[in-house]
Amino acid sequence: MADYRWDAAAGRYRDAGGRYVADGVVRAAVDALLDDGTLRLQALSARLATGTLALAEWQQAMAVELKRIHLVVGTAAHGGWAHMAPADYGWIGQRLRAQYVYLQAFAAQVASGAQPLDGRVAARAELYAQAGRATFEELRRRDMRLRGVTEARRGLHAAEHCAGCVGAAAQGWQPLDEVPPIGAFECRSRCRCTLQYRTRAEEAA
Amino acid sequence: MLWPDGRAAGPGAVGLLAAKGVGIVASPRLPKLLPTRAQLGPAIAWSDADLDQLATIGPADVAAAQAYRPLTADPRQRALLALLADLLHAQEDGSG
């Protein structure tokens, strides 16, 4: 296992040589987890659509996978398992609870027939996995606020961008809490943007 | 099982598709059958207390998350997931 350290003051990982691990590398690892989670949720949804998994079993299994996804990405944002306190688990749990409310509505729509059991089920399930990205970014924002960081901006990356994200990125540096969260625009939880941070008059973190 | 237009598929059709060995929906050349509502069963209606309990993260949840095994076969994705697992075991940095 490679030896990484968590620099709590900076809110960043360091490698064995003491160099910071680039934020983009950490986010790529988080994105890989979300994409793997997508595969899992799509597989569950395929079993639902073929009648090999009952709706209640699907709902429970989705809930288990969502907990794993949000827990892992939230922990990645906060420096790893060794740095998680009960309050951090509670913060993630609140986000998870909101996802469970959405999941319950999703299941009710499947039961009523309002949600057709076709490819749209798997597409909708994907959004639940990808919603972990917002948990990662919002936990980072919470921690940056606690560190006294005052400003953030939206970073666009190699992806197709919706108009909302392009407009938000064009705003540049804004007060920390005025930058819209990941998932706030048309691309919803598929948003691949990042939030970047600085304290006024300093360079980007 | 149901045909996509809502008609019930008889046991002969289900058996024929299953005998093809391709599963009920796996082949694009065969019509897709959908489960009936009876086969799906009801959704779970979680109460507020259920939701609170479900969303509570305890040691067993942490242990399950730490035991995560990737599903993807993509080497790059697997490498990134291995990196993530290593990052999650980061210790406090004492150099600063």
What pLDDT does residue A41 have? 96
Burial B25-42 (b: 16+ CB within 10 A, else e): beeeeeebbbbeeeebee
- B21 to each of A46, A79, B14, B30, how far by Cα in Å? 17, 48, 11, 12
pLDDT digits over A29-76, tens only? Answer: 999 999 999 999 999 999 999 889 999 999 999 999 999 999 999 999
Q: Quick check: A55 and B84 CB within 8 A?
A: no
Tokens of A70: 């949000």
Q: How many CB atoms lie within 10 A of CB A82?
A: 12
B91 contacts on A by Cβ (under 8 Å): 4-6, 80, 82
The mean per-residue pLDDT over the stretch A20-26 comes to 96
- Rounded to the nearest integer, the mean pLDDT of chain A is 93
Q: Residue A160 is which amino acid?
A: E
pLDDT digits over A122-156, tens only? Answer: 999 999 999 999 999 999 999 999 999 999 999 99
Q: Quick check: B90 and A92 CB within 8 A?
A: no
CA nearest to A70, candidates A99, A36, A28, A41: A99
pLDDT digits over A91-109, tens only? Answer: 999 999 999 999 999 999 9
Residues, chain B:
96
ipTM rounded to 2 decimals: 0.91
CA distance B21 to chain A (A): 14
Residues A65, A160 contacting (CB under 8 angstroms): no
The mean per-residue pLDDT over the stretch B84-90 comes to 97
pLDDT(A205) > 70: no
How far apart, in whole angstroms, are the C-alpha atoms of residue A150 and residue A147? 9
CA distance B12 to chain A (A): 17
CA distance A170 to chain B (A): 30
pLDDT digits over B63-84, tens only? Answer: 999 998 999 999 999 999 999 9
pLDDT digits over B23-59, tens only? Answer: 444 444 444 678 888 889 999 999 999 999 999 999 9
A111 contacts on B by Cβ (under 8 Å): 37, 40, 42-43
What pLDDT does residue B27 have? 46
Residues A6, B38 contacting (CB under 8 angstroms): no
Tokens of B15: 């058996």
Left, alpha or beta for A148 (phi > 0: left; psi -120 to 50: alpha)? left
Residue in the block written with tokens 């299953």? B18
- A146 to each of A61, A149, B93, how far by Cα in Å? 35, 7, 18
How far apart, in whole angstroms, are the C-alpha atoms of residue A190 and residue B46? 27
Binned at pLDDT 50, 70 and 90, residue A200 comes out as: confident
